């Protein structure tokens, strides 16, 4: 009798564990930036609902021979840590949700994280 109760409790706890939703894996909102297209014209690019805790290299600023992006605007629910180099390398700067920076801040990659 005791074994059945213990087994039932363990199965119930396991079922509860898998039914509780995990933490969100994406920041909600949009992160925008300005980049230079191949014709040399400024364009606005963006990341919509970017994944959290993953280094994201800005696609339009990824190449060695293209200018970095600039003028970031963080309209997401997460804090953005922007980097001057690709692959989250180089100098880093923090943009809180709703934060922005001028064209002087050059960036090539970003990672988003929720503050606890």
What pLDDT, on the 0 to 100 scale, is given for residue 26?
83
Q: What is the pLDDT along the chain (116 residues), one digit of tens a residue?
A: 454 443 344 334 434 334 444 454 689 999 999 999 999 999 999 999 999 999 999 999 998 899 999 999 999 999 999 999 999 999 999 999 999 999 999 999 999 998 75
Using CA atoms, how far apart are residues 76 and 25, in angstroms rounded to an integer? 13
pLDDT of residue 64: 86
Decide which of 3.30.450.40, 2.60.40.420, 3.40.50.300, 2.60.20.10 is the CATH code for 29-113: 2.60.20.10
The pair of three-digit structure tokens given for residue 61, joined into one six-digit string: 């600023």
Residue 35 CB neighbour total at 10 angstroms: 20
| The model scores a pTM over 0.95 | no
Tokens of 96: 């809180």
């Amino acid at each position: 009798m005791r074994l059945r109760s213990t087994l039932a409790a363990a199965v119930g706890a396991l079922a509860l564990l898998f039914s509780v939703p995990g933490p969100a894996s994406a920041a909600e909102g949009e992160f925008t930036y300005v980049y230079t297209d191949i014709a040399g014209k400024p364009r606005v690019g963006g990341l919509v609902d970017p994944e959290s805790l993953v280094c994201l290299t800005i696609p339009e600023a990824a190449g060695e021979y293209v200018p970095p992006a600039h003028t970031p605007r963080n309209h997401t629910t997460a804090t953005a840590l922007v980097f001057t180099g690709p692959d989250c390398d180089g100098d880093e700067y923090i943009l809180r949700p709703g934060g922005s920076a001028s064209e002087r801040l050059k960036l090539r990659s970003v990672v988003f994280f929720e503050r606890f």
